[in-house]
Amino acid sequence: MRKDAALSFRVPIELKEALERAAKDDERSVSFMVERVLRNWLIENGYLPKPET
């Protein structure tokens, strides 16, 4: 998947720290974790189609 759109936003420090811990535990980058959480929420709420398995 091509990634050509950037996002920038501020979050409370405790949210950022929790995200960093989750990324570290999963051996992923923070940006990957943000994308994963966002994509999952969008799929669960009907904004993106469910991936075919």
Average pLDDT along the chain: 95
pTM: 0.83
Q: Does some domain include residue 33?
A: yes
Q: Does some domain include residue 4?
A: no
Distance between CA atoms of residues 46 and 37, nearest Å:
14
Q: Does some domain include residue 24?
A: yes
Over residues 11-17, the mean pLDDT reads 98
Q: What pLDDT was estimated at residue 1?
A: 75
**Where in the sequence is the domain holding 20, given as residue range(s)?**
13-44
Q: Does some domain include residue 19?
A: yes
Over residues 33-45, the mean pLDDT reads 97
Question: Which tokens hold the place of 17?
Answer: 């720290």
For the chain, what is the domain count? 1
Over residues 6-20, the mean pLDDT reads 96
Q: What pLDDT was estimated at residue 3?
A: 87
Q: Does some domain include residue 28?
A: yes
Binned at pLDDT 50, 70 and 90, residue 53 comes out as confident
Contact in structure between 6 and 13 (CB atoms under 8 Å): no
Q: Does some domain include residue 2?
A: no
